[in-house]
Structure 1
Amino acid sequence: MGIRSFAAELLLPAVLQAKHRGTTPASGTQDEVATFAALQDKLGYLSKAEVKQIREAYKFADGAHLGQFRASGEPYITHPLAVAGLVADWRLDAQALMAALMHDAMEDCGITKVELIEKFGAPTAELVDGLTKLDKLQFSTREEGQAESFRKMLLAMARDVRVILVKLADRLHNMRTMTAMPAAKRGRIARETLDIYAPIAHRLGLNMIYRELQELSFEHLYPWRHAALAKAVQRARGYRRDIVERVRLEVEKGFAAGKIKVQVSGREKTVYSIYRKMREKHAGFAQVNDIFGFRIVVPALMDCYLALGTLHQLYKPVPGRFKDYIAIPKANGYQSLHTTLVSPLGTAVEFQIRTEPMHAVAETGIAAHWIYKHDPKAGGKNGSGAGEAQRLGAMWLKSLLDIQDETRDAAEFLEHVKIDLVPEAVYVFTPMSKILALPRGATPVDFAYAIHSDVGDHCVAAKLNGEPVALRTELKSGDVVEIVTAPGARPNPSWLNFVRTGRARSKIRHFLKTMEHEESSELGAKLLAQALRAEGLLMPSAELDDAPAQALWQQLIRWSGNRSRADLLVDIGLGRKIATIVAKRLAQLMAERGARPDAVTLTLNRFGSTVDGNDDAAAPPPGVVIDGTEGASVVLATCCRPIPGDEIRGYLGRGEGLLVHTADCSTGKRLAERDPERWIAVEWAEQPSRHFETSVKLLVKNGKGALAQIAQAISAAEADISHIEMDNDQQDDATELTLLLAVRDRQHLADVLRTVKRSPPVLRAARVKP
């Protein structure tokens, strides 16, 4: 039985601290590489030809960075060498090592991608390009440029995971050596690392890098807090040494008696993880009692459970503190048994039990794939853990491409990615007992989109463990989730207020934007056809086989500056372009091709009612009919809340679609005076398809059951209450209520008001006018 000393293990934080403060222990550190000879010592797993290629890349990078120095005063080439050393520790291939050596060549030295392709081949050049920020492009803000650079890197990572492995090595070395930078820049880089790079490392299972990036970020962001907690940990280490040594000896004796071959090593929580736990639990340092723990590494999978039984015989487990991540691995492939036991002195001690392959995946995550690839013995009998980590990592990377397909805005893409980087997870089951891992706080809608985008788009209800629940209900580990769908259902914009996964958020937004695009295009076509009829012409054909009509549309598109006919119609539907102006230009182009105004069309177009009593300004018959099926492109104004039976007109807002006001709305009249050319005629359909909301104000006598009587009267009149507001300035004997009612039309509203006025508590009832 091999036992590593706990005291030796506790020296590890001191070595890490020495590394990132720029000092080096006397023995030196393994991953700081200052010369190519030191790097070459790590390349024994590569062929001589590959080492020769890497040497050529080193010479190229050395020449490119000649005369450049880091903020610390060291030659710049020491940084690429150190990054390549970290990459070599993961046993990545020659292409990744060459990219590590040249990762700043394009960004800082003016080297082009073509040069790299000629000298080192396309795969290496693609890796370097994926690591290059978009600093040379002009962005309106630094945040916009940062978001675009992240998107570029993450998409390159989705195509080739080696990109992010090299990037994380680059960020880790920068974090270790940035003490010479100004404090403001250190803080910005540390915050970026804590928000983006550390979570990515965790998502891919690179736990050693994840912990060190967190620790370094915390130290640079909050140096005083870090120093105070580090001293407290050091003091606690001295206080608890006897307890830890006693537990270690008893554990060793227990495993020896059971004849179980294990490796026992001590581990200590990082200062940042202690700080985070203190904040989450609003506790002082003294209350965080599981600072120290043990890691048990066993030869085979079944030995994990034997070791667990041995530990539970030695000490009593803390209820609710056992987790089986072997049966249900974490989303990044991590597998271990976690149990917290009560030591002889009453303190809690955590144990992690795993096999050697599980340990490799736990520390190096997706990078374990390359370690096993070059060293098959490292996997032992259970080397499949690295392949599982690779598969889970690839699934997440593929999800980035799915989000990118539906998100064109870089900042929005970055927001979705940040949501998906949440490390905490809940594990839920489908009705067929398949396990899904979702972020903590996820809802049935997140679950539906995790199954398939069609399930999410048509979701109408959900059941948890067989019981109906609201769609915004938070899921808990162990829940069995069933989604109820309907063919005609569509995503609700309100879902964006509670969904937690980037996939669900991007799918909902994509669907809503697509629907808005289609509806705006239909509205634009109606408005353009109406405006063209005013010129005595009919809309030219949109059929692809009609060559003259297609040539006419191409001329109009070039004039308007749009990319396609659909984009032009969307701009008209959203009010970005005025239909009458576009129609006049189209009429001019049609006239050049011999088209003449049709007398019948012109006569029909001018036949109709007049507007505002001005007989000379005869209006065309309404081209837009409102029946209640309109989507985002047609909105009923909330200032006047028009309902069927009201005289209405439409205002084409700039980029807002068609806004429908009542003819006597004061807000609408002000808009008409300011932008008269943006008003178009609209009318109600003969048979509207739904109820419409309008506001009603009631003065009600205070008394028991008054609200219930009013609700009963409204229900008896076949109307619905959508919302109720109560006046804050209540009188002693009466209260003013504002109700939002859903009614069919003006006649229905009149019936409702008559019924409500007959209710005993109601003193006055009237529709709200702007």
Structure 2
Amino acid sequence: MIPVETLTALVRSYNPQSDAGLIEAAYDYARKMHAGQRRQSGEPYFSHPVAVAMLLAEQKLDDATIITALLHDTIEDTLSTYSEVALRFGEEVAQLVDGVTKLTNLELSSVENEQAENFRKLLMAMSKDPRVLLVKLADRLHNMRTIRHLPLEKQQRKARETMDIYAPLAGRMGMQWMREELEDLGFRVLNPEARNSIIRRFLTLRRETGDVIAKITDDIRTVLTQAGVEAEVFGREKKPYSIWRKMEEKKEGFHRLSDIYGFRIITHSVGDCYTALGAVHQRWRAVPGRFKDYISQPKSNGYRSIHTTVSGRDGKRVEVQIRTQEMHAVAETGVAAHWSYRDGERFENPFAVDPFRWLRAITERFEGQEDEEFLEHVKLEMFTDQVFCFTPKGEVVKLPRGATPIDFAYAIHTRIGDSCVGAKVDGQRVPLWTKLRNGQSVTIIRAEGQRPQPSWEDMVVTGRAKAAIRRSLRSEQRATQVRLGREIARVALERVGKKATDKALEAAARRLGLEEADDVLARLGAAEMTGKELVATLYPELLRDAALPRASSDTAPVVIGLNTGQVARPAPCCNPIPGERIVGIAVRGKGVVIHAIDCAELGAYEDEPDRWIDLRWSEGQARADHVVRIEVTMANDSGVLGRICTLIGEQRANITDIVFTDRKPDFFRMVIDIEVRDMEHLTHVLTAIDADSDVAQVARFRQAQAVAKRTEPERG
């Protein structure tokens, strides 16, 4: 176990004003509280909070954060209380410990609760004081370093949670070194074969080429010395997970990857960064399309650096990052730079961003969304790298890699995104799905009355754009559902001699436990409720009096060819009606099922001719009580549904149900159940509907046509 003297000495090395006595008191208190507790490895449990405190001390953090690390499990796992911690170590530390405890409780309950809901609470807690997150990330890092002692199933669950949540959070907070280590530790658990394979390939490469990193590092130092630039140069192999991810993204083998080595040049000034860049490019050929200047256009998490890829020694491609000492501190520690020390003083790094800004913005922007959507959008915000594009006025818009002109439009303003109809990139008209690149100038073409299209959701990558599009589509869909629902309500109530007045619909809403009449209409328009159910809600006595016609499946049609005592019923797959040829299939215990002669279901009985019965309809005037289904594709425009319902009524056919099967911005497809006398009557109805200019297609609809997987035929 790490002794307290080692911890306090490390803290005093960067903060001589540190209160070593308070840190020692926290150390002793936590050791006493955790006495007798053991980790899965068998070690004393207290070794864990000390290790977490050391991780944070290595980041040169303030005393409150170090003490919080020592105490972070006391309130949760021991007899300690918030009041006692506040009394001994101050209110600031007590609040930080309480914040970490709440995050741990969310994590422990993630099996029982939705991960998305917990993640929303996690971000809300972090937005109050990001130091809570710093302690939690260090806690997770040490747990991942010692994860091998847990059962395999728990290892995999923790590793997946680390890859999905904690690693990208560390990256979004600017702590790139921690993100890389968390990803690699999770990769070791989730895909050990792939990780070991990459490590073996690195070993083979070293045997074949020697220490390439040392050679290239020396080359770079020589070039910088000749250019008069004082700088530190570091080289490294990329992490196994980083290599594997590139292999997956580019669909290339290890031997074809061009940037498995990375080098950093740390200078004393911004001017030296650009001088170093010129020296590197003068010595080695730059790889086109692999240059990024994050000094002139920083990332939103404060990251600043110049990235370039060159063909180095023996033609090997290597990535070179060039930055100043201050930029390097932000790149390594991210938001931790806000609480770090240098030369015994709190150091205000000019390149560090406000850690509160992103957390608060993200929680405010997606407030009120469903938990699953919130998690999706925040993940998008965390995982993405950035590109920088320009408005026609030269203003910079930061977007994630893979963003499209629609993302660009919504990044400027929701109103501009909603009314977007096209875009020009560098003066050329481009499709809206075009992926933007660094430095491009984008002009959005707008049109009044334009609304977001459903297809846009698949084109955008930013959470902001996705949220705005979904919000608009939901609003527009509801308006359409209300409009269609009003037509359905009118038809259903007129058939029983009633009117769909606002008062009647409000009464229906109260009885159904809905807030307003539009909620009833929206449910009707969304096929979540039928016209019959509306009538039953308002006038149940009319149903008891059989005011609504019954479906013909409840009555036996008059047919010739049955034996005495045989009962026949129409097959629901084809719903045969008088005027079309029919055949009966004998079903043991169920009488005879009547099919139309062209019904696809009859193929199941080809090898059983003894079950076939020759039937025909009786002559004479048929009643209009045979239910058939028709499918109508109509324009999505006001009044069209009403006209179709009127046309059906004019042909003396009753509508018993309407179900919308597909909704598009321009056309709707629906299935209507109607009662007709015979085939001639049905033909008149179809002809009348087909004549309407807003009807694209109308045809008889049979269940066998729509069901991809046919139900097993009844066997005798």
- Calculate the TM-score normalised by the size of structure 2: 0.69
Aligned-pair distance for 1:208? 0.9
- For 1:127, the equivalent position in structure 2 comes to 99
- Structure 1's 346 and 62: CA in aligned 2 closer, same or farther, altered over 3 A? same
Contact 1:406 1:506 in 2 (8 A): no
Pick one of 379, 392, 396 that aligns with 1:431.
Answer: 392
> For 1:399 and 1:646, how far apart are their aligned partners in 2?
54
Conserved in 1, the CA contact under 8 Å of 2:661 and 2:671?
A: no
User: Deviation digits for residues 701-733 of structure 1, max 9, x if unmatched?
Assistant: xxxxxxxxxxxxxxxxxxxxxxxxxxxxxxxxx
Per the alignment, residue 706 of structure 2 pairs with: none
Q: Aligned match of 2:674 in 664, 681, 689?
A: 664
Partner of residue 438, structure 2:
477
Structure 2 residue 2 is matched with structure 1 residue 34: yes
Correspondence for 2:647 among 642, 645, 648: 645
Deviation, structure 1 residue 192: 2.5
1:17-28 equivalences under 5 Å are none
Separation (CA, whole Å) in 2 of partners of 1:427 and 1:613: 63
Question: Residue in 2 aligned with 1:263?
Answer: 232
Contact 1:651-1:659 within 8 A present in 2 as well: no
* Aligned equivalents of 2:670, 2:319: Cα separation in 1: 64
Q: Would the alpha carbon gap of residues 46 and 695 (structure 1) be closer, same or farther in structure 2, given more than 3 Å must change?
A: farther
Given that 1:316 and 1:342 are in contact with CA atoms closer than 8 Å, whether structure 2 keeps it comes out as yes
The match for 1:706 is none
Is 1:275 paired with 2:277? no
User: Could you tell me which residue of structure 1 aligns to residue 11 of structure 2?
Assistant: 43
The 3 A distance-change label for structure 1 pair 116 and 572 is farther
Q: Aligned ranges for residues 142-161 of structure 1 at < 5 Å?
A: 142=111, 144-161=113-130
Does structure 2 retain, via aligned residues, the 8 Å contact 1:134–1:149? yes
C-alpha distance after superposition, 1:481-523 (max 9, x if no partner): 2222334332222222222112211222233334455666788
Retained in 2: the 8 A contact 1:458–1:485? yes
Change (3 A) 1:165 1:567: farther
Partner deviation per Cα, 1:96-123 (whole Å, 9 max, x = no partner): 4444334445555587778767775373
- 2:361 pairs with 1:384: no
TM-score normalised per structure 1:
0.65
Q: Call closer, same or farther: CA 1:93–1:520 in 2, change over 3 Å.
A: farther
Shift of 1:230: 2.1
Q: Distance in 1 between matches of 2:78 and 2:305?
A: 45
Deviation for aligned residue 1:36: 3.9
Partner of 1:354: 323
Contact 1:90/1:370 (8 A) holds in 2? no
Flag the 1:451–1:118 CA change in 2: closer, same or farther, 3 A: farther
Counterpart CA distance in 2 for 1:635 and 1:72 is 71
1:593 aligned residue: none
Instruction: Give the counterpart of 1:769 among 688, 700, 704.
Output: 700
1:159 and 1:538 map into 2 onto residues whose CA distance is: 51
Change in 2 beyond 3 A, CA 1:335/1:527: same
Counterpart secondary structure, 2:674: coil
CA separation of 1:343/1:110 partners in 2, compared to 1, >3 Å: closer, same or farther? same
CA deviation map 1:668-715 (0-9, x unaligned): xxxxxxxxxxxxxxxxxxxxxxxxxx999xxxxxxxxxxxxxxxxxxx
* Contact preservation (8 Å) 1:464, 1:480: yes
Equivalent in 202, 219, 231 of residue 171 of structure 2: 202
Give the corresponding residue for 2:40: 71
Displacement of 1:234 in angstroms is 3.4
Relative distance call for 1:86 and 1:695 in structure 2 (3 A) is farther
Unaligned runs of 5+ in 2: 553-633, 677-684, 702-716
Contact 1:264/1:295, CA 8 A, preserved across alignment: yes
Letter in 2 for 1:769: R
Distance 2:670 2:516 in 1: 28
State the alpha-carbon separation in 2 of the partners of residues 570 and 41 from structure 1: 68
1:227 aligns with 2:188: no
Q: Given the superposition, is the C-alpha separation of residues 629 and 163 from structure 1 closer, same or farther in structure 2, using an over 3 Å criterion?
A: farther
CA distance in 2, matches of 1:376, 1:86: 20
Partner of 2:369: 407
Matches within 5 A, 1:90-101: 90-101=59-70
Distance in 2 of aligned mates of 1:278 and 1:59: 49
Residue 420 of structure 2 is aligned with which of 451, 459, 463?
Answer: 459
Distance 1:250 1:48, change over 3 A: closer
State the secondary structure of the residue aligned to 1:769: strand
Equivalent position of 1:421 in the other structure: 382
CA separation in 1, counterparts of 2:172 and 2:636?
46
Count of residues in Structure 1 that have an aligned counterpart in Structure 2: 593
- In the alignment, is the contact (CA less than 8 A) between 1:127 and 1:162 conserved in 2? no
In the alignment, which residue of structure 1 is the partner of 2:625?
A: none
Letter in 1 for 2:7: L
1:719-758 alignment, distance < 5 Å: 746-748=691-693
The one-letter code matched in structure 1 to 2:306 is L
Judging changes above 3 Å, is the alpha-carbon distance between structure 1 residues 404 and 226 closer, same or farther for their aligned structure 2 residues?
A: same
Quote how far apart the aligned CAs of 1:418 are: 2.2
What does the per-residue CA deviation read over 1:354-380, in whole Å, with 9 as the maximum and x for residues that have no partner? 11111111111222222268866967x
- 8 A contact 1:106–1:132 mirrored in 2: no
Q: 1:504 to 1:665 in 2, by over 3 A?
A: farther
Q: What is the Cα deviation at residue 747 of structure 1?
A: 4.1
Unaligned segments of structure 1, at least 5 residues: 1-32, 543-551, 588-601, 603-608, 615-625, 667-693, 697-742, 753-765
Question: By how many angstroms is 1:302 displaced?
Answer: 0.6
